[in-house]
Amino acid sequence: MDFEALEEACKACTKCSLHQTRTNCVFGQGSRDAVLMFVGEAPGEKEDLSGIPFVGPAGQHLNKFLAAVGIDREQVYIANILKCRPPHNRDPLPAEQDCCIEYLRAQVKLIQPKIIACLGRIAAMRLITPDFKITRDHGVFHQRGNFLITAVYHPSALLRDPRKNEDMYRDMKAIRQKLDELEK
């Protein structure tokens, strides 16, 4: 399946009840041959309205970190596990994640990133290990097949607790360093 067919299938999805309340399917955005892919948990209100991931306050905060370490947002790919917004931005339910995970897997297969960075604990628990603790395990890289995977704080968590910004900056610099190593 190519990107266009995958996106159309995602937009037509009715596997869970979230399709009933979505304004837009938030498939993903960015370079389809990105070396670096970010994966969040689910769209928020601004994302549901626009159809674009990470455009609200959390996305603006993420953009600041990308700029701070010299990563161009246009050169990465950003997606979420869920493609539809859960009501009131609640955490995605495991059954909802199960319904959407194949879309994410197909995106990863098409993009073939070298690094995947999970944004927050929910994405990390799904993609790295179910017992992932973001405060303990953020910034640690794991080899999975042909790519490295790591997790950083979700930008919305940083907006609630700015004390974690320093850790985020350190983790983003480590991602930048891994990118530089891959380019050599």
Q: Which string of DSSP letters, residue by residue, matches 109-147?
A: HHH--SEEEEESHHHHHHHT-TT--HHHHTT--EEETTE
Class of domain 3-183: alpha beta
Q: What is the pLDDT of residue 1?
A: 87
* pLDDT digits (tens), the chain, 184 positions: 899 999 999 999 999 999 999 999 999 999 999 999 999 999 999 999 999 999 999 999 999 999 999 999 999 999 999 999 999 989 999 999 999 999 999 999 999 999 999 999 999 999 999 999 999 999 999 999 999 999 999 999 999 999 999 999 999 999 999 999 998 7
Q: Show me where the domains of the chain are located.
A: 3-183
Exposed / middle / buried, residue 154 (Cβ in 10 Å: 0-12, 13-18, 19+)? buried
Q: What is the pLDDT of residue 151?
A: 98
Q: What is the pLDDT of residue 56?
A: 95
Strand partners, 37: 77, 116
